[in-house]
Structure 1
Amino acid sequence: MAAATVNVLPEASEVRDGRLLIGGCDAEAVAREHGTPAYVYAEDDLRARARAFRDALAAHHDGPGEVVFASKAMPSTPVLRLFAQEGLGCDVASGGELHLALHAGFAPERIYLHGNAKSRAELAMAVEAGVGTIVLDNAEEARRLSELAGDREQRVLLRVTPGVDADTHEAILTGQAGSKFGFAPADARALIAAPPAGLRIAGLHMHLGSQLFAMEPYRRAIRALGTLGDFPVYDLGGGLGVPYTAGDPQLGVETWVAGMVEAAHAELGGGRELVLEPGRALVANAGVTLYGVDSVKPGAAGELLVAVDGGMSDNLRPMLYGAAYEAHVVTRMGAEGVASTVVGKHCESGDVLVRDALLPDPRPGDVIVTPATGAYGYALANNYNGQPRPPVVFCSGGSSRVVVRRETYEELHGRDV
């Protein structure tokens, strides 16, 4: 029996006469109008995914709860504003992300400040802004925040490293013993026993890592939290994996949320405030990247080398993690293809976006789509080789609009003094 395949394109997409439509917009027309490379999001997908998480938590949990967007996955104001409109909170991990969240309209009390190396300036910024929850990573940070809090009482959570390994890339594994993130259980117990003045320890936080598809590691980690005491608030982090190619596993929002809540009820008891922090799972499959093909030539193994007008400057994940993606010609979707490698334009042999693609008669001028780039493409974008960063385009109801414009050459030296 053939393995089941999953659709990695946005739900609000379709193929009509071999042409890809995203949010009702013809992908080639979007590329011609707004240029390439471009990050393109199905706006309705973003909203639907936010509602799916909120609805699942409300359906399965018997107490207060909150879904918080891990903004590191896509820290652009238009996406943040959309999630604020949809009733999500916001997880930030730096002063810059805090600034963006406030600028996008998140109420300060709905913001959670994370980070393993918060500066005094970042903590002061959070206190002055009235950030609702600061997630402490270490004892020095607690001491520093206590000084800054003064006469105010600051709600905090302790990030605990539960010592649980999960099946994912080592670079995005965060809950194992010895992780750079969080308190070891013994250190957490010491701070719980003698909390610094001005800090109200409301509960505990954990985060096992990213791209996780099994629930058992979560349950073991939640059980470990339960050994540290009884608290009103438990932030269980995020990490729900997403499919990047048709053969990847898929867990699903409903299954993940139900599993998290069931484990929390079993290990911690009911009625607690539960916080979930999805990031990638909210944005990855809602977005794609469109590229223009600049050249095609034969490779050493008989494949075609298809060079596009972007690369590691707009999607660093293949080089960082060996991440696999699909590629399709947007005007010949589903047509029989030939073995192709999609390479970027940068001065690195490792600048390869997609290996083992099957592209139908690729030629210069074609528009290629790589699905599932909605998370960490924009966030990790850079100016290598002087490449301006791409625009962000929202598509909905057959209309497209630029919500973040393309960077200009002049902006490459705009900070020079």
Structure 2
Amino acid sequence: MTLPGAAPRAADRARRRDLAVRAAVRAGLLDPDDTPLAAFLDLRGVAESAAALHAAWPAGESVEHTFAAKANSLVPVLRLLRGHGLGCEVASPGELAQALAAGFEPRQLVLDSPAKTRPELRAALAAGVTVNIDNFQELERVDALVAAGGTASRIGLRINPQVGLGAIAAMSTAGNESKFGFALGDPGNRERIVGAFLARPWLRWLHVHVGSQGCPLELSAAGVAAVVALAEEIDRRAGAARVEGIDVGGGLPVNFADDRDDPTFADQVAALRAGAPGLFGGRYRLVTELGRSLLAKNGFLASRVEYTKRSGGRAIALTHAGVQVAARTVFLPDAWPLRVLPYDADGRPRPADGGPDGTVPQDVAGPCCFAGDLVARARELPLLAPGDLVVLPDTGAYYFSTPFHYNSLPQPAVHAYQVDADGGVRFTLLHRQETVEDVVARTLGEAADGAAR
């Protein structure tokens, strides 16, 4: 199911992208010599996605939406999402620091990590950050910290409902052997979890995250249903409403095949209503942790084609967009296929059918020094030429924001763009392109004091 406005929104998204590519060329943001690779974020698209998330949930529910910082941890992007009414889910000291730098208050933050150190826990509990405990040993650490100083934090247990895996095992967190959370079905664990709540008045939340990409909505809903049933059992055993809230995690996959939002946030809520009806009705405070589904389709990478060649009869386009900005696609192309959209040197879209010259199967290769650095293999495209542009859409999350420093390639510039009613495009720099001096600076180490020169 998709919303009636999905097709027009997809067409508008594609139109804005085309205008942005053309404008970026005119503005010198994709200069063949100095900036042959850049990333772009659609501000209107981000606002629409955030609004759709807020609108999808029933008005009578107490819901706090957080953005999973790992999906795009650039501080200006986090600040943008804060302005759209989101909190932030973090999973490391670095992400926590980035979220604070973006202006989030500690009470707007949720800390999820399977390997929190004592200092991390101590700092989070002292600041009032929400903490979801991953395992029984971590629970013992939190016991000691709460006894020593108390806390204003909301504290919950992350539950692995063990409802199964989606199509991408690495993105699924509710298998029998998942590294995350308290394994609900393991012998004795359910009783120990209930006992943990009965013994600790400060333990009031439950958290679950079944997975995201590759996980059907019904599987995520089944995981939430298992945790709702656990909450109901805890309340029965306690003889009171002990579980205050449920964090349902993320769990919304993204359509990488075209520009539509499919599934939508409304689809996710409908699946939860059908599969976990006890979640609704105002009994619980709720938290969501969406990441990819908020930003992926609102960002793209654009690269100049540097050279073209043939090898073994195969056409190959050598570009500047490779594993350093598209690691998932390069290493797991079947699980993470990206579209490749061709544009001419002036930033005008080329026809998908190649026009009168047709299309040919081409490899679209990145700049890195290993043979597998390909973002597309034998892809049917108009024959690319040096100076042309290739655009990789749907890369607003987990791609340019999470660079892989292979071959010490500089991180590309990231530009936000806004398209006005007349088709004019205004760019705002979110992250400047790294220089080679920046690369040296972040790898210099002890040589900075001259001792190892």
* TM > 0.5: yes
DSSP 3-state at the match of 1:256: helix
DSSP 3-state at the match of 1:225: helix
Shift in Å, 1:29? 3.2
Change over 3 Å in CA distance of 1:408–1:189 after alignment to 2? farther
**Which residues of 2 match residues 39-188 of structure 1 at below 5 A?**
39-59=39-59, 62-131=60-129, 133-149=130-146, 150-153=148-151, 154-185=153-184, 186-187=188-189
Change over 3 Å in CA distance of 1:216–1:196 after alignment to 2? closer
Equivalent residue, structure 2, for 1:210 = 212
Equivalent residue, structure 1, for 2:439 = 412
Shift in Å, 1:394? 0.2
Question: Is residue 8–residue 244 contact of structure 1 (8 Å, CA) maintained in 2?
Answer: no
Change over 3 Å in CA distance of 1:292–1:380 after alignment to 2? same
Equivalent residue, structure 2, for 1:332 = 349
Shift in Å, 1:27? 4.5
Shift in Å, 1:413? 2.4
Question: Is residue 174–residue 211 contact of structure 2 (8 Å, CA) maintained in 1?
Answer: yes
DSSP 3-state at the match of 2:258: coil
Instruction: Give the whole-Å Cα distance in 1 for the aligned partners of 2:400 and 2:230.
Output: 38
Aligned pairs, how many? 405
Normalized against structure 1, the TM-score is what? 0.89
Instruction: Give the whole-Å Cα distance in 1 for the aligned partners of 2:139 and 2:58.
Output: 32
DSSP 3-state at the match of 2:363: strand
Question: Is residue 213–residue 249 contact of structure 1 (8 Å, CA) maintained in 2?
Answer: no
Shift in Å, 1:354? 1.6
Question: Is residue 10–residue 42 contact of structure 1 (8 Å, CA) maintained in 2?
Answer: no
Equivalent residue, structure 1, for 2:38 = 38
Equivalent residue, structure 2, for 1:271 = 283
Equivalent residue, structure 1, for 2:239 = none
What CA deviation, in whole Å up to 9, does each residue of 1:22-72 have, x standing for no partner? 3x963433543682321111011111111110111144xx32111111111
1:306 equivalenced with 2:317 (yes/no): yes
Instruction: Give the whole-Å Cα distance in 2 for the aligned partners of 1:349 and 1:147.
Output: 52
Equivalent residue, structure 1, for 2:240 = none
Equivalent residue, structure 1, for 2:377 = 355
Equivalent residue, structure 1, for 2:386 = 364
What CA deviation, in whole Å up to 9, does each residue of 1:115-164 have, x standing for no partner? 11111122122123321x10110111122223233332332111111011
Instruction: Give the whole-Å Cα distance in 1 for the aligned partners of 2:252 and 2:229.
Output: 24
Letter in 2 for 1:209: G
Change over 3 Å in CA distance of 1:10–1:244 after alignment to 2? farther
Q: What is the percentage of aligned positions where both structures have the same residue?
A: 31
Change over 3 Å in CA distance of 1:167–1:248 after alignment to 2? farther
Change over 3 Å in CA distance of 1:352–1:402 after alignment to 2? same
Question: Is residue 40–residue 417 contact of structure 2 (8 Å, CA) maintained in 1?
Answer: yes
**Which residues of 2 match residues 378-393 of structure 1 at below 5 A?**
378-393=400-415
DSSP 3-state at the match of 1:329: strand
DSSP 3-state at the match of 2:154: strand
Change over 3 Å in CA distance of 1:278–1:10 after alignment to 2? farther
Change over 3 Å in CA distance of 1:213–1:27 after alignment to 2? farther
Question: Is residue 66–residue 274 contact of structure 1 (8 Å, CA) maintained in 2?
Answer: yes
Change over 3 Å in CA distance of 1:386–1:9 after alignment to 2? farther
Instruction: Give the whole-Å Cα distance in 1 for the aligned partners of 2:317 and 2:201.
Output: 56
Whose helix proportion is higher, 1 or 2?
2
Letter in 1 for 2:381: L
Shift in Å, 1:319? 2.9
Which residue of 235, 257, 263 maps to 1:251? 263
Instruction: Give the whole-Å Cα distance in 2 for the aligned partners of 1:199 and 1:408.
Output: 53
Shift in Å, 1:212? 4.1
Change over 3 Å in CA distance of 1:232–1:212 after alignment to 2? farther
Question: Is residue 295–residue 363 contact of structure 1 (8 Å, CA) maintained in 2?
Answer: yes
Question: Is residue 155–residue 204 contact of structure 2 (8 Å, CA) maintained in 1?
Answer: yes
DSSP 3-state at the match of 2:330: helix
Instruction: Give the whole-Å Cα distance in 2 for the aligned partners of 1:225 and 1:98.
Output: 26
Change over 3 Å in CA distance of 1:64–1:102 after alignment to 2? same
Question: Is residue 212–residue 240 contact of structure 1 (8 Å, CA) maintained in 2?
Answer: no
Change over 3 Å in CA distance of 1:65–1:55 after alignment to 2? same
Instruction: Give the whole-Å Cα distance in 1 for the aligned partners of 2:133 and 2:160.
Output: 12
Change over 3 Å in CA distance of 1:138–1:202 after alignment to 2? same
1:377 equivalenced with 2:399 (yes/no): yes
1:238 equivalenced with 2:250 (yes/no): yes
Q: Structure 1 stretch 286-295 or stretch 255-264: which is displaced more?
A: 255-264
Letter in 1 for 2:25: E
DSSP 3-state at the match of 1:326: coil
What CA deviation, in whole Å up to 9, does each residue of 1:195-238 have, x standing for no partner? 59887222211111121463321232122213323322111111
Shift in Å, 1:378? 3.0
Change over 3 Å in CA distance of 1:237–1:296 after alignment to 2? same
Instruction: Give the whole-Å Cα distance in 2 for the aligned partners of 1:384 and 1:161.
Output: 34
Instruction: Give the whole-Å Cα distance in 2 for the aligned partners of 1:326 and 1:188.
Output: 44
| Larger RCO, structure (CA 8 Å, separation 6 or more) | 1
What CA deviation, in whole Å up to 9, does each residue of 1:292-326 have, x standing for no partner? 111111232x4311110231011101133222111
Q: Which has the larger radius of gyration?
A: 2
